[in-house]
Chain A
Amino acid sequence: MGVEGIGASVVRKEDRRFITGKGRYVDDIKMLGMTYAHFVRSPHAHAKVKGIDSTEAMKMPGVIAVLTGQQIVDDKVGNLICGWAISSKDGSPMKMGAWPAMAPETVRFVGQAVAVVIAETKNLAKDAAEAVVVTYEELPAVPDIKAAIKPGAAQLHPEAPGNVVYDWHIGDEAAVKDAFSKAANVVTLELTNNRLVPNAMEPRAAIAHYEAAEEHYTLYTTSQNPHVARLVLSAFYNIAPENKLRVIAPDVGGGFGSKIYVYPEEMVALWASKKVDRPVKWTGDRSEAFLTDAHGRDHVSKAEMAFDKDNKILGLRVKTHANFGAYMSLFSSAVPTYLYATLLSGQYIIPAIYAEVMGVYTNTTPVDAYRGAGRPEASYLIERMMETAARQLKVDPAELRRRNFITQFPYQTPVIMAYDVGDFNASIDSAMKAIDYAGFPARKAKAKADGKLRGIGLSCYIEACGIAPSKAVGSLGAGVGLWESAEIRVNPVGTIEVLTGSHSHGQGHETTFCQIIAERLGVPISQVSIVHGDTDKVQFGMGTYGSRSLAVGGTAIVKAMEKVEAKAKKIAAHALEASESDIVIENGEFKVTGTDKSIALPMVALAAYTAHNLPDGMEPGLKETAFYDPTNFTFPAGAYICELEVDPGTGKTTFVNFVAADDFGRLINPMIVEGQVHGGLAQGIGQALLEGAVYDENAQLVTASFMDYTMPRADDLPSFKLSHTTTLCPGNPLGVKGCGEAGAIGASAAVINAITDAIGNNKLEMPATPDRVWHAIHG
Chain B
Amino acid sequence: MSTVKLTVNGRAVSVDVEDRTLLVHLLRENLNLTGTHVGCDTSQCGACVVHVDGRAVKSCTMLAGQAAGSNVTTIEGLAKGDELHPMQAAFRDNHGLQCGYCTPGMIMSAVDIVHRHGGNLDEETVRHELEGNICRCTGYHNIVKSVLDAAGRMKVAQAAE
Contact = CB atoms under 8 A, between A and B. Distances in A.
Interface of A: 11-12, 14-25, 27-28, 30, 123, 199-203, 251-254, 256, 285-287, 505-508, 671-672, 674-676, 678-683, 705-707, 711-715, 717, 719-720, 743
Interface of B: 18, 20, 28, 32-42, 44-45, 47, 74-76, 78-79, 84, 88, 91-93, 95, 97-104, 107, 123-124, 126-128, 130-131, 133-144
A675 B95 contact: yes
Given A202-B99, A683-B139, A713-B140, 7 more contacts: A18-B97, A19-B100, A203-B39, A285-B38, A506-B98, A675-B142, A713-B134
Nearest to A711: B134
A705 B133 CA distance: 15
B95 A286 contact: no
B25 to A, nearest CB: 9
A260 to B, nearest CB: 15
Contacts of A681: 139
Given A20-B79, A682-B140, A11 B100 contact: no
14 contacts: A15-B100, A16-B92, A19-B91, A19-B97, A201-B45, A201-B47, A201-B137, A203-B39, A256-B136, A506-B100, A674-B95, A675-B98, A711-B44, A715-B128
Nearest to B97: A18
Contacts of A711: 44, 134, 136
A706 B75 contact: no
A743 B141 CA distance: 13
A705 B44 CA distance: 9
B144 A254 contact: no
A706 B92 contact: no
Most-contacted residue by chain A among B32, B93, B127 (CB, 10 A): B127
Given A286-B41, A719-B144, A678 B92 contact: no
A286 B39 CA distance: 7
Interface centre among B40, B47, B130, by most chain A C-beta atoms within 10 angstroms, is B40
B141 A678 contact: yes
B45 A11 contact: no
Contacts of B124: 715
B99 A253 contact: yes
B22 to A, nearest CB: 11
B100 A678 contact: no
Most chain A beta-carbon contacts within 10 A, residue among B39, B74, B98, B140:
B98
Contact of A201 (B91, B123, B136): B136
A679 B136 contact: yes
Given A20-B76, A21-B33, A720-B141, A15 B39 contact: no
A719 B123 contact: yes
A687 B68 CA distance: 43
B101 A202 contact: yes
A254 B130 contact: no
B97 A123 contact: no
Contacts of B98: 254, 506-508, 675-676, 679
Contacts of A252: 99
A21 B84 contact: no
A19 B134 contact: no
Q: How would you classify the secondary structure of chain B's contact residues: helix, strand, loop or mixed?
A: loop
5 residue pairs, one from A and one from B, having the closest CB atoms: A21-B35, A253-B101, A18-B100, A682-B139, A506-B99
Contacts of B137: 201, 254, 506, 675, 679
Given A20-B88, A506-B98, A706-B44, A201 B135 contact: yes
Given A123-B20, A201-B134, A21 B123 contact: no
Report which residue of B40, B126, B137, B143 has the largest number of chain A beta carbons within 10 angstroms of its beta carbon. Answer: B137
A739 to B, nearest CB: 13
A12 B103 CA distance: 14
Contact of A19 (B32, B33, B103, B142): B103
Nearest to A709: B44
A299 B136 CA distance: 23
B76 A21 contact: yes
A20 B128 contact: no
A764 B112 CA distance: 40
A200 B99 contact: yes
Contacts of B143: 714
A18 B103 contact: yes
B138 A23 contact: no
Nearest to A747: B139
A713 B101 contact: no
A20 B80 CA distance: 11
Which of A14, A21, A713 has the most chain B CB within a 10 Å cutoff? A21
Contacts of A705: 40-42, 44
A28 B37 CA distance: 9
Contacts of A15: 91-92, 97, 100
Most chain A beta-carbon contacts within 10 A, residue among B78, B126, B142 = B142
Given A123-B18, A201-B135, A672 B41 contact: no
Contacts of A675: 95, 98, 137-138, 141-142
Nearest to B98: A506
Contact of A714 (B37, B47, B93, B144): B144
Given A18-B97, A506-B99, A11 B92 contact: yes
B102 to A, nearest CB: 5
Given A202-B39, A506-B137, A706-B45, A713 B130 contact: yes
B101 A28 contact: no
A372 to B, nearest CB: 14
Contacts of B107: 19
A20 B35 contact: yes
A254 B88 CA distance: 20
A350 B127 CA distance: 43
Nearest to A254: B99
A679 B97 contact: no
A481 B142 CA distance: 36
Nearest to B130: A714
A281 to B, nearest CB: 11
Given A11-B92, A719-B141, A20 B136 contact: no
B99 A672 contact: no
Contact of A286 (B32, B42, B91, B126): B42
**Chain A CB within 10 A, most for which of B88, B97, B102, B141:** B141
Given A18-B103, A286-B42, A717 B92 contact: no
Residue of A254, A705, A717 with most chain B CB atoms under a 10 A cut-off: A254
B79 to A, nearest CB: 6
Contact of A678 (B44, B45, B139): B139
A24 B28 CA distance: 12
A254 B136 contact: yes
Contact of A25 (B91, B101, B140): B101
A12 B95 contact: yes
A22 B74 CA distance: 12
A201 B102 contact: yes
Nearest to A17: B100
A21 B74 contact: yes
Contacts of A287: 41
Nearest to B99: A506
A253 B75 contact: no
A708 B84 CA distance: 37
A678 B142 contact: yes
Question: Of residues A28, A505, A713, which shows the largest number of chain B Cβ atoms within 10 Å of its Cβ?
Answer: A713
Contacts of A285: 38, 40-41
Nearest to A671: B95
A624 to B, nearest CB: 31
A430 B74 CA distance: 44
A28 B130 CA distance: 25
Nearest to B92: A15
B126 to A, nearest CB: 7
A623 B6 CA distance: 52
Contacts of A202: 37, 39, 99, 101
Contacts of B123: 719
